[in-house]
Chains A and B, each alone.
Chain A
């Protein structure tokens, strides 16, 4: 479904991605782990074309993302940004319903609003939150609104950049369940970036570890626990000692 081959991206002299190869089958959930600043967010943006890769190809269902019709291409995606990226000029419900109120899939305002309220409920937010502005919400609430916006139009492919960062453990559990549900019930293909090992175990079919600009390791959760790979071992156990330097 999502296929990356030899993706490179450098910012000036900072070579962030140095040949990423990755395959995410349709209807599965891939979790990307890796140290802070290794380029996980940049990787998702390369797939979406928000950041233009210097080399390599990205294919979605066999179609080259670079040459695909942009409109139709993006209509298949939902994305939760690491910093939520809510539109602060619009109230929360209009943020969630943004795609529903514009473009090809435009719906009547009331219907869009009802869908937005329903999606907010699924991320644990009441209807009254819909009337507030993003600046009036806490960081964790903003994150959940971003999540509701990402899933509002029920896209085929959903990217979650750190969906549970900044949430309390209970809410993090709710969001983990939601992501799992979206993949299993809606048959969506998901890519999730997280530093939270509980989220990894809860949502992943496959795990990939990004390190030094390449996919260092990939496998299932069971394989992850059993792997002798010292990088993965150090990372998932949060050890200070190991091949990954703590100053990066």
Chain B
């Protein structure tokens, strides 16, 4: 009996994880079905888009700026080891657009947006506002989850595009001011070796990450436990869940987009 206890515990944990995955998948499918079926709540969508997209710009922009700058320094050091300092502009551009722009942008949005959605919806759940919505003949999935998920899926790629540009600018600032690159040459190299798909694949990642962030925020918020502790736990779970899923799906997406 006691010998088998760890096995039983492991089994329970695995089953629990599988059940949670199933519940999230059902939640995701249901919210998608509400996104495509009327009625549509345009005002809720616009509010969410403003909250998620516009208000995240400073955070995502600063993250990209410093990342691009640091990346330029690192690649210069690495490149110098085999006399290839000139690769700095193109590697910064490719690194930002394919990987760091979407991933760091996604993680920052996860911190900012998944938490705020989970806390807001969790509070609504705890104060019976979600029950009240139901009694007023309004489907909470349609009114609360669908607009937020759609807004995040649409706006995060835009955030990523802005982040990419700012990140490349960060690299350029460092390249020109610290590493003695010629400004025109730096920009020329950036553009010459950057392919549309480098940017495009990053934007696809951005859309997926946006979807994940809002999905986790809505799922944990609407399933929040009771009381302030319930909301706290829901918020934490949403941020952790979104971050882990972003990193995991980033690898999978990179595999898929890489072979494409």
Contact = CB atoms under 8 A, between A and B. Distances in A.
B39 A103 contact: yes
B135 A77 contact: yes
A45 B131 contact: yes
B177 interface: no
Interface string A68-83: 0001001101110111
A152 to B, nearest CB: 9
B135 A50 contact: yes
Given A102-B39, A103-B39, A85 B132 contact: yes
Interface string A97-109: 0110011100000
B151 to A, nearest CB: 15
B128 A83 contact: yes
Q: How many of chain A's residues touch chain B, expressed as a range? A: 20 to 34
Nearest to A41: B128
A74 B128 contact: no
B137 A74 contact: yes
A187 to B, nearest CB: 20
A239 B45 CA distance: 55
A148 interface: no
B134 interface: yes
A45 B130 CA distance: 13
Contacts of B185: none
A133 interface: no
Contacts of B136: 74, 98-99, 102, 149
B21 interface: no
B137 A75 contact: yes
A176 B12 CA distance: 53
B129 interface: yes
Interface of B: 39, 124, 127-129, 131-138
The 9 closest A-B pairs by CB, nearest first: A85-B128, A85-B132, A79-B135, A99-B136, A50-B131, A74-B137, A81-B128, A85-B129, A98-B136
Given A102-B39, A103-B39, 11 more contacts: A71-B137, A77-B135, A81-B131, A81-B132, A83-B127, A85-B131, A86-B132, A102-B136, A102-B138, A103-B137, A104-B137
27 contacts: A48-B134, A50-B135, A71-B137, A74-B134, A74-B135, A74-B136, A78-B135, A79-B132, A81-B128, A81-B132, A82-B128, A83-B127, A85-B127, A85-B128, A85-B129, A85-B131, A85-B132, A87-B124, A87-B129, A87-B132, A98-B138, A99-B137, A99-B138, A102-B136, A102-B137, A103-B137, A104-B137
